[in-house]
Amino acid sequence: MSAMRRNPPWKRVRPTSKAAAAAKRLLEAHERRARFEPLPEELAPRTAEEAYAIQDAFVALRAQKLGAIAGYKVALASEAMRRHVGVDAPQLGAMFDSTLHRSPGRVRGSDYVHLIVEFEIGVEIVEDLPAADAPFSRERVARAIGGVLPAIELADDRNADYAVLARRPFELIADNCWSEGAVLGAAPQGWKELDLAALRGVASVNGEPVGEGRGAAAMGHPLDAVAWVANLLASHGRGLLRTEVVITGNLMTSKSVQPGDRVSFELEGLGAAELQVD
């Protein structure tokens, strides 16, 4: 089941020649199903801003096949993961229309080089948060949220050498934070009465528990993560828009999955998201 959202095409400024060349190289690597490798020195991003410029150009290329942007993911939401990779801020990736699925979702393992899943609190945006209104607080973004839900993120690390990534952390931004979408659970009523930071999530694969975590893993509070997304977009002149989805960061360690696996992620008070890997 493919995504539910249809937003206008991603509007971009013309990329620099370096960003365009780097994006083209990334797209070719994805199409060849090549192992994740850092970009060559002459194309590699040296700052987060350079990396987001490459990501913009790369996302525009992938959107031609995968559809418009339908939401965003927060990578490296926890301080421990940021220390491990060697950066001092989370990283943002875009999610495409065709890669968002409603639970129960099904994907083919053969469509990925190395599929990994993460377990997150997702939110549905029902009111535009335009760049002109920044900066955004936790309280302000809360008024723009229509639903909170369990989400299983889909990512493809393409068998990356994580030791190399730790030395070149901006490469993850350039490669759109390995984003391949998400499976989204239902968004029940009553989420405003829940303590989202204390919310407990439990993940299982093939019926066996594989981890658990609390909402505070997402930048201290999931709505702080949403505010961070809205403010980062605003710094680039863009808004977080009605109908978009934000998944706010992994509550536990990532898990590799393979064909035949059944993945479940349950958030107390918010139900579960289910994934079948064929």
Secondary structure (DSSP) of 183-218 = EE----TTGGGS-TTT-EEEEEETTEEEEEEEGGGT
Give pLDDT, residue 9.
Answer: 37
Give pLDDT, residue 11.
Answer: 45
d(CA 183, CA 168): 29
Whether pLDDT at 226 is above 50: yes
Could you tell me the pLDDT band of residue 1, with boundaries at 50, 70 and 90? Answer: very low
Could you tell me the pLDDT band of residue 14, with boundaries at 50, 70 and 90? Answer: low
Give pLDDT, residue 32.
Answer: 97
Whether pLDDT at 2 is above 80: no
Query: In Å, what is the CA distance from 241 to each residue of 55, 110, 115, 260?
Result: 19, 33, 28, 36
Could you tell me the pLDDT band of residue 15, with boundaries at 50, 70 and 90? Answer: confident
pLDDT tens per residue, range 60-90: 999 999 999 999 999 999 887 787 777 788 9
Domain ranges of the chain: 17-277
Could you tell me the pLDDT band of residue 166, with boundaries at 50, 70 and 90? Answer: confident
Of residues 15 and 233, more confidently modeled = 233
Whether pLDDT at 149 is above 60: yes
Of residues 163 and 175, more confidently modeled = 175
Quick count: other Cβ atoms within 10 Å of Cβ 244? 24
Whether pLDDT at 6 is above 60: no
Could you tell me the pLDDT band of residue 13, with boundaries at 50, 70 and 90? Answer: low
Please answer whether residues 50 and 16 qualify as being in contact, where contact means their C-beta atoms are separated by less than 8 angstroms: no
Please answer whether residues 39 and 22 qualify as being in contact, where contact means their C-beta atoms are separated by less than 8 angstroms: yes
Fold for the domain defined by 17-277: Fumarylacetoacetate hydrolase; domain 2 (3.90.850)
Tokens matching residue 220: 């201290």
Give pLDDT, residue 82.
Answer: 80
Q: Looking at this protein, which amino acid is placed at residue 185?
A: G
Average pLDDT over residues 151-156: 98
d(CA 176, CA 75): 10
